[in-house]
Amino acid sequence: MKSGSSNYGYPIVLTSEIATASDTYGSSVVGFASAIPDDYFRKRIAHWFFNVSSDREGRVKRAPYGLAKVEASLLNYGFNRDDVIIASPYKLHKVIGPRTRIVGIYTMDALGLSYGSGILYWILKLADLPYRGMPYIARSFLEVIEHPAIKAHRDHIKLLVGGPAAWQLVDTGAWQKLGIDIVYEGSFENYGPMLFERILKGEDIRGRVVNSRPSSIEDVPTIVTPSIGGLVEVTRGCGRGCEFCTPTLNGMISSFPFEGHIDKEIIINIEKGGHKSITLHSEEFFRYGAKSIDPNPDKVKDLVVKAYKLIKRYGDEYRLHTDFTTAAVVVQAPDLVKFVGEYMNEGGEWSFIEMGIETGSPRLLNMLMVGKAKPFTPRQYPDIVEQAVGILNDNRWVVVGTMILNLPGERDEDVAASIELLDRLKKYRILTFPLPFIPMGALRRRDFTILDKMIDDPLRREFILKALIKSMEEAIRSVELIVGSMENIIAKFIVRRISLFAFNMVLSRYKAKLGQIGEYSEEFIRKLASAAWDLSKRPMSININEDS
């Protein structure tokens, strides 16, 4: 009987919290429902909604992209498929046994402190809906940590947790309370496999927080397990240097080659994963192949044409998408955006693209993220954002525009500048999501967001309500786009009906609430926004030390 059988267990078991392990029937957008409090989900309903497709043994059909990269790195290092498995969190009892030495858990929101959970808190509270319990995604993390199979073999298992939410466990000290042996932060490729090898050789490694440096492009292997959402990473980093971002994204943009890397992952996602939609993932897609802040249009066009031709070999119904951009590069290269749109939104179809707007305040931009506007200036930024949304709409992208509240050094005039920008964006197809500042990267130890304090402040409440009203209006218009990729007809029907009901209900409540509190006059907002504009001209600095 081979080593990976249920009688013995796999030496290395990789998994993730339930909500993150699920592809929600093929729609990554629908997966944002994982931020809803667990009190709204009966366990049986939650497990149906957040389904995880796997074989009888427990090996998943599709995995979170980051976890697929961990598996690929271990296999590339010399481990084999009998040593390593990415397992469904529902079937850990089938893969954990006496031979298991490592259980690695990938987390996107271990404690419910991410921006997604913060948005859902505001959405419910401002609609006068009860918020009880914790975000389901956090509950599903605890379900894995407390799984009976892990507890039964805890004496010979090292429990490792990594992923985008690892910082939550470190900063709160929760990792020690939960009995986690190692928290892994940073890129896995350059140190992770060696760490796993040391553990398997019997070294007693525990009570550590590992901080790994970013990996070079050459060290990143191609995935073996298809990714959720048909995700294929085409760049890493961005180089714009926002103070609140992670060190990885602050690094200059690096691009993966198409031949031998991107093409392989596209093929794996289509042939093994059954995906009919491939998403070319990047922090700033229109700068693929760039060596500086300026885009390299020829490289982007070459990538798009090659990827398009590859997926069309499988059938005309196969689609190509991307996920992230910035306003500056869109305005800098509108012809490039049009070229890409003709391939990605062919036949008059629409798709979503995320754009981190962050703020409408030139003052805050100058303080915390001056690179976000380059090659333009912070003072031009509100105009750049509006132009970019218009260009993307013209090329059939619905923009998911995130705007951050409670940034370090924020003043009333900065919030007013963001409200003024919101008003300018009313006529466009955009979901304007207000994000509570999430402490991470260079600023993460400053403080944790106080959500109630923000919605109790009249000016900030107006900003949040206006942003959510615009988001709900566009969500209603885009509901077919939200559920369109769902592979289960029954699930698609149910989610569509529930979504439309929920969006319309909260929208009517937000509009009533905005009328009750009374909007600040347009003149008042303009005066405050003008103050932020004037202050942006002055030299300034901000102390971001932990005890400031």
pLDDT tens for each residue of the chain, 548 residues long = 234 444 589 999 999 999 999 999 988 888 889 999 998 888 889 999 999 999 999 999 999 999 999 999 999 999 999 999 999 999 999 999 999 999 999 999 999 988 888 899 999 999 999 998 899 999 999 999 999 999 999 999 999 999 999 999 998 899 999 999 999 998 999 899 999 999 999 988 888 999 888 888 889 999 999 999 999 999 998 888 777 676 455 568 899 999 999 999 999 999 999 999 999 999 999 999 999 999 999 999 999 999 999 999 999 999 999 999 999 999 999 999 999 999 999 999 999 999 999 999 999 999 999 889 999 999 999 999 999 999 999 999 999 999 999 999 999 999 999 999 999 999 999 999 999 886 554 445 444 457 888 899 999 999 999 999 999 999 999 999 999 888 899 999 999 999 999 999 999 999 999 876 666 656 665 666 666 556 655 544 333 333 32
Distance spanning both ends of the chain, measured CA to CA: 60
77-102 burial, b at 16+ Cβ within 10 Å, e below that, comes to eebeeebbbbbbbbbbbbbbbebbbb
Q: Are residues 377 and 442 in the same domain?
A: yes
Q: Are residues 195 and 234 in the same domain?
A: no
Q: Are residues 78 and 155 in the same domain?
A: yes
Q: Is residue 2 situated within a structural domain?
A: no
pLDDT of residue 223: 98
CA–CA separation, 243 vs 441, rounded Å?
Answer: 8
pLDDT of residue 29: 85
Residue 184, CA distances (Å) to 193, 195, 340, 481 in order: 12, 10, 37, 36
In the listed set 197, 217, 237, which residue is the last one of a domain according to the structure?
Answer: 217
CA–CA separation, 170 vs 183, rounded Å?
Answer: 8
Q: Are residues 40 and 54 in the same domain?
A: yes
Q: Are residues 357 and 434 in the same domain?
A: yes
CA–CA separation, 366 vs 372, rounded Å?
Answer: 9
Say which CATH number the domain at 308 has: 3.80.30.20
Q: Are residues 333 and 381 in the same domain?
A: yes
In the listed set 175, 190, 217, which residue is the last one of a domain according to the structure?
Answer: 217
Question: What one-letter code names the amino acid at 459?
Answer: L
Q: Is residue 7 situated within a structural domain?
A: no
Cβ atoms of 64 and 106 within 8 Å: the answer is yes
Select from 286, 378, 369, 379 the least CA-distant residue to 331: 286
Domain of 119? 12-217
In the chain, the largest separation of any two C-alpha atoms, in whole Å, equals 77
Q: Is residue 122 situated within a structural domain?
A: yes
Q: Are residues 201 and 224 in the same domain?
A: no
Cβ atoms of 226 and 272 within 8 Å: the answer is yes
Residue 68, CA distances (Å) to 71, 138, 221 in order: 5, 21, 10
Q: Is residue 64 situated within a structural domain?
A: yes
Q: Is residue 542 situated within a structural domain?
A: no
What's the CA dihedral at 290, 371, 323, 419 to 10 degrees?
-160
Secondary structure of 206-260 as H, E, C letters: CCEEEEECCCCHHHCCCCCCCEHHHEEECEECECCCCCCCCHHHHCECEECCHHH
In the listed set 178, 194, 217, which residue is the last one of a domain according to the structure?
Answer: 217
Q: Are residues 213 and 224 in the same domain?
A: no
Six token digits for residue 226: 């298809």
Q: Are residues 422 and 360 in the same domain?
A: yes
Residue 296 sits at φ, ψ, to 5 deg, of -120, 85
- Which residue reads 């050789």 in tokens? 201
Long-range contacts of 90-93 (CB under 8 A, 24+ apart): 90/18, 90/47, 90/52, 90/54, 91/54, 91/57, 91/58, 92/13, 92/15, 92/58, 92/144, 92/147, 92/149, 92/150, 93/147, 93/148, 93/149
Q: Are residues 391 and 376 in the same domain?
A: yes
Q: Is residue 98 situated within a structural domain?
A: yes
Q: Are residues 24 and 153 in the same domain?
A: yes
Q: Is residue 4 situated within a structural domain?
A: no
CA–CA separation, 247 vs 182, rounded Å?
Answer: 20
- Provide the edge-to-edge strand list for the sheet that holds 84-86: 84-86, 12-16, 102-106, 158-162, 182-186, 208-212
Q: Are residues 503 and 522 in the same domain?
A: yes
pLDDT of residue 26: 87
How many structural domains comprise the chain? 2
Q: Which letter does DSSP use for residue 520 in this model?
A: P
Q: Residue 375: is the preceding peptide bond cis (ω within 30°)?
A: yes
- DSSP E strands in 359-484: the ranges are 397-405, 430-436
Instruction: Name 356's bridge partners.
Output: 402
Count of other CB atoms within 10 angstroms of residue 190: 16
CA–CA separation, 232 vs 280, rounded Å?
Answer: 5
- Which residue reads 């003008």 in tokens? 530
pTM for the whole thing?
A: 0.90
Rg (CA), the chain: 23
Q: Is residue 146 situated within a structural domain?
A: yes
